[in-house]
Every structure is written in structure tokens, then in C-alpha cells.
Chains A and B, each alone.
Chain A
Amino acid sequence: MMPPVLTAHAVSVTLGSTAVLRDVNLAVSPGDSIAVIGGSNSGKSTLLRVLAGLVRPARGEVLFKGNPVRSWDPLGVPWPHGIGYVSQLLGLRSNMSVLDNVMLPLRYHGHLPELRIRERATTLLMRLGVIESNVRPAALAPGEAELVALARALAHEPSVLLFDNPSAVLDVDSADRVTDLLRELRGLGLAVVSASSSEAVAAVIADSVRRLRDGRMEEQ
């Protein structure tokens, strides 16, 4: 078995006086797809944010390829290039076109010439079935906007994809396209951790399910 690419060791998070996560352990290896499921306020989204390096745990640590988060600065960059994160709120730039949103991380890091960047972004959007790439995100249906956020998270070829609340896969056509793309990318070593309240969605996207209840990960 390959060593884990992303690990959470005994992570606890407290927001105010509420314990959101309690001693949560999770390890994901290249090619794995794990779905974390649980009800509202079970701590799923917080766990994904901790794994993305966006929320500092009160206790425990998060390791990416064996290294701890470089900085917990609230305006800093936790992992320079390794993680793709799809937020529950998507976080698409509303004043940019769909295509520019997907191209943004590639343009900023500048590892590729403009033509290749455009090609990669267009290919990803096409694979996910997003036809309208020159419109603003506000013009898209919610499911389509989620696919754009997924395309942007995958654009810079991350080692780990953190997918919060993948509701777009409830649509049958989108589900097929998303699972096909993720299966292909997992074959190339992408690890996927998704968070959902639906077991049906988890079954579509993941091959292993972990359940969170009141911030605790239930035994498998």
C-alpha cells in the first residue's frame, strides 16, 4: 500500500466553546477516494478545511507528503501547489468568466504558456460538460457552477482533491462525467476526500466511507 499523501493525526477543532472535531484521524493515499459523511454540524466541512490547511486545529496535526502545514497564517498559503479544494460555497470569482476562473491558478503560477493554460482549462470544462465558458459564474445553474469550481480545483493538477458537498453528482449526466474524470485522475495518483450528508452521493464518488458524528469519526 502506498504511504498516505495527506494525514490528519488526532485533530481537534474548537470554535468558540463548541468542539467541532474531536481527535479525528484520517489518512488518504494516492488513488484513494474517501467520503466523509455525517449530518448537519457533524464537522465534515471543518475537517476538509483543516485538511486544506485553512483552519488551524486546536490539537493534532496535518501532514501533506509527510510535511506539516507551512503556515497557519489566515491570509497565507498553506500548501503551495498540492491541494485542490472545492468549497461548499464554491468561491468562484464573480467578476471573471468561467474560463478565467479555471485558468486563474495556472496563470498565477505561470508554469505553462498561455495557450496550454487555455487548452487545459477548456479541456477540463468540456470533460465536465460545461459548455458556456465565456459567461460569468452567476449565469450558470448551481450544479454547473459546482463543476466549474471542480475544474478550477483540478486545473493545477493537485495530488489531493478535497470536495465539500458534491451535490452536482446528483444529476445523472454530471455524475457520470465527474466519476469518469475522477476515476481517470485517481489512476494517475489523485487522492480524493469528499464530504457529504448523502450516502448516495458518497457511494457514487468514493470507494470508502467514513462517518462523522458530533465531531467524532466513528470506528470503521
Chain B
Amino acid sequence: MGCLVDTTSRPGLVSRTGMSVVTAVDNIVGAVRLAVASMREAYAASGSSVSCIHEIWLQQVRFTGLHALTITAAAGIITGAIVIIQSMAILPQVGAADSLGKLIALIVIREVGPLLVAFIVIGRSATATSVELGTMVVGDEIAVLRSLGIPPRAYVVFPRLAGITVATMALLVYFDLAAVAGGYVVSFMFVRIAPSFFLGSVAHHLRAVDLTATLAKGFLFGGIIASIACYFGLSVEPSPTEIPKAALRTVVHAILLCLVADLVITFASLGR
């Protein structure tokens, strides 16, 4: 009996992995090009165009930043509390129970915070952006904007890029403050640490390079998330079934790229 599946024409694991890597690199290069071109076109925009772009930017900051404050605050408080609870279980064994502030500074503010905020932004804004832009392509809005002399890169992409980047940085600061608050509340409940001692410990262990690295991560993650979301949103084929695929590709690429960027920044800031 003949085989129902033609296995001879299927590429092997190595070829498929290679093709996936090439496609991923191609997508990343495309997203970077889109972001750079959008900045160039927005820079060239004149007075009234700028106010139209600014209006969209404001809407994006409101959606990505303001509307995500509650979930970010909750995530920050819970993360700060979890880190402190786990630390209190372990630290007495290694004789460092007074280092709770240090843990908040090193683990939450420097490492966990930027990634969790990035995941929140990916889950809320990146998916929404790629779906919105995909819908604009399928519904012919992008084509109509072009016909009206409105450049989609300046009017559609740039305000989302700038809005998501600014909002991610702001959310990160907010998350860190919430995590410190959450960490302190738990510390106070269990070991009665004075606020001045706890905050002093956080401040003492938080160096300028940590703060810079954290904000750099917020900036970079925001830029990565927005570029990827806009790129995949605008890359959909004119069919509604392509839109969910664009959202899926956005999430996968944005998570991976943020993790890679985090690794690079962590290495770069190590030992400084």
C-alpha cells in the first residue's frame, strides 16, 4: 500500500529551523525598517499634520499607559510581595534577612519589572495594535489614507511607535513603585521593618546604572513591541482570517525579542 503522505518533499528539521530563523530575521529587519521610515516621515511632517499625529499619539499613550495602570499596579504589588515572601523563607538560612530592599532593587526593579511590564504591554497593546492595523488593511483604510495623501507610516505607525514606547517607560516606573510598596507591606506585616529602613535599603542598592538599565529596557521593549505590532499588522494579506495570525506572530516575536534584548542589556550592564 502506498504512503498517504509524501515525505520525500518535506524539508528536514535542520532546513525547517533554518527557514524559520531566516523568516524571523527577515521580519525583524522589516520591523526595524518600518520604525525608522516612520520616524523619518513623521519628522518631515508639517504643522497641521503634526497635530493629527499628536492626537493619535495621545490616544495610544492613553490606551497603553493610562488604561493599563490598574493591572500594572496589581502586578507590581503582587510581584513585590511574592519576592519578599519567598526571600523571607530563604534569607534567614543564609544570614541576610536585612537584605529585603536589595532584593526588590536587584530582582524586581532591574530584572522582573521590565519583563513583566513588557508582557502586559504585549498582551494588551501589541495584540490590539496588530489587530487594528490588520483590520485597517483588510478594510482598505490604509489604501484610502494613501489616496488622500496621508502617509500611513507617519500617521498610523509613528504615533503608535512613540505612544507605546513612552507608555511602556511610564508603566515601568509605576510598576517599580507598586512593587516597592507591595514588598514593603509584606515586610512590615511579617518582620515589622520600618519604612525608612526598607526604603533606605532599596535606595542604597539601587545604583544609577540599574536605573539607567531599567529605563533603557522600558524604552527598548516599548520600541520593539510597537515596531513588531505595526509590522505584522500592516503585513496581513487582505483577508480577515489573516488578522488573528498577525496577532499571534506579534506576540511570539515581541516576547522573544524582549527576552533577547533583556539578556543583552543585562550582560552590558553587568559589572558596571
A→B interface (CB under 8 Å): 49, 52-54, 75-81, 83-85, 87-94, 104-105, 107-110, 149, 152-153, 156, 162
Is A109 touching B149 in the complex (CB atoms < 8 A)? yes
Q: What chain A residues lie within 8 Å of B141 (beta carbons)? A: 91-93
Give the segment of B19-27, B46-54, B83-91 that binds chain A: B46-54
Residues of B whose CB lies within 8 Å of any CB of A are 37, 46-49, 51-52, 139-153, 155, 234
Q: Once the chains are docked, how many angstroms separate the CA of A90 from the CA of B138?
A: 11
Contact A91 B150 (CB under 8 A): no
With A76-B151, A90-B140, A91-B141 known as contacts, the answer to whether A109 contacts B146 (CB < 8 A) is no
Closest partner residue, chain A, to B55 (CB atom): A107
Q: Interface of chain A, helix or strand or loop or mixed?
A: loop
Whole-angstrom distance between the Cβ of A124 and the nearest chain B Cβ: 14
Instruction: Evaluate whether A87 and B140 lie within 8 angstroms (CB atoms) in the complex, with A76-B151, A108-B155 already known.
Output: yes
Closest to A93 in B: B141
- A108 near B48 with CB under 8 A, answer yes
Interface pair A80/B147, CB less than 8 Å apart: no
14 contacts between A and B (CB under 8 A): A52-B143, A52-B147, A54-B147, A77-B150, A78-B146, A80-B149, A85-B147, A87-B143, A90-B139, A91-B141, A104-B148, A108-B52, A108-B149, A153-B148
Chain A to chain B: the 8 pairs with minimum beta-carbon distance, closest first: A110-B48, A91-B144, A85-B147, A91-B140, A89-B140, A105-B148, A87-B140, A91-B141
The chain B residue with its CB closest to the CB of A113 is: B48
Complex contact B140–A156 (CB within 8 A): no
Contact B149 A75 (CB under 8 A): no
User: Contact: A91 with B49, CB < 8 Å?
Assistant: no
In angstroms, Cα B147 to Cα A78, docked, is 7
Closest CB in chain A relative to B38 CB, distance in Å = 9
Known: A49-B143, A54-B143, A87-B143. A105 touches B46 (CB 8 A): no
